[in-house]
Structure 1
Amino acid sequence: MEFEKVKQDILGKEYSLSIAYVSEKKSREINKKYRNIDKPTNVLSFALRKNMGELILCKSVIKKELKKFDRTFEQLLGFLVIHGMLHLKGMQHSSRMEVAEDKYDQKYFYRNRHRVHHNKSHRGGIFKRRKKS
Structure 2
Amino acid sequence: MFSLFEEGAADIYLTGSNAKMLSSELSTLLSGRYVEIPVFPLSFREYLEFLPATRSSDREAAFQSYLKYGGLPIVPSLPQDENTISTVLMGIYNTVLVKDIVQRNGVRDAELLGRVATIIKSRQASSMT
Relative contact order (C-alpha < 8 Å, sep 6+): which is higher? 1
TM-score range, shorter chain: under 0.3
Larger Rg: 2
Q: Write 1 or 2 for the structure with the bigger share of helix.
A: 2
Query: What's the TM-score once normalised by structure 1's chain length?
Result: 0.26
- Structure whose residues are more often strand by fraction: 1
| TM-score where L is the length of structure 2 | 0.26
